[in-house]
Amino acid sequence: MVGYQPKRANKVVACLVCWTCHGRMGPNHFTLKDGCAVCGFCGTKNPLGNLRKMSIQEVTAPSEILVCFTRAGTAAHALHVDCKTVLGPWIEFQSAETLEKALRYLGATEEQIEEHRNQMKRCGQGSSNIRLLPNRKNLLRINYGKL
């Protein structure tokens, strides 16, 4: 076909995977300076080896995940929505309020936060279904290759 343009979702671009905040960002969210890639989230200089070729859809599309938590909300980790695939290690939080702030930052809606609070009151452990927004710090150390 003459004049056919591929969809933007299929476009492969250089993306940064920051070694400090573990965020995944497209070319609009990092800068190249002094032979390094500077993270737009935390400002850390990353070696150029942290640049990865990814489709723009991998970086910009939100993902549904489960966040499992125990110990009254001070430890949590991410699971795939299939409830079998572990996406990251257990992360310790200072308090249940800190975990709640992290869930809000990652993309949890008010209804999801309310359900999270209800589970905390009932048992002190459980799981919360959230929509992981793009271009956020990777607070749960998610391995995006498993999504």
Looking at the 3D structure of the chain, how many domains does it have?
2
Its pTM stands at 0.75
Please report the DSSP string for 45-99 in residue order: EE-GGGEEEEEHHHHHS-EEEEEEEEGGGTEEEEEETTSS-B-S--EE-SSHHHH
Cα gap 52→75, rounded to integer Å: 30
pLDDT of residue 5 exceeding 70: no
Kindly report, residue by residue over 90-144, the tens digit of the pLDDT. 999 999 899 999 999 998 999 999 999 898 888 888 888 898 888 888 888 888 7
The C-alpha angle with vertex 21 and arms to 72 and 113, in degrees rounded to 5, equals 35
Residue 140: inside a domain = yes
pLDDT for the residue numbered 76: 93
**Residue 18 within a domain:** yes
Tell me which residue range forms the domain holding 67.
63-146
Confidence category of residue 21, pLDDT binned at 50, 70, 90 = confident
Mean pLDDT over the full length of the chain:
86
Phi first, then psi: give them for residue 50, nearest 5 degrees: -85, -5
Strand order in the sheet with 75-80: 91-92, 75-80, 63-70, 126-132
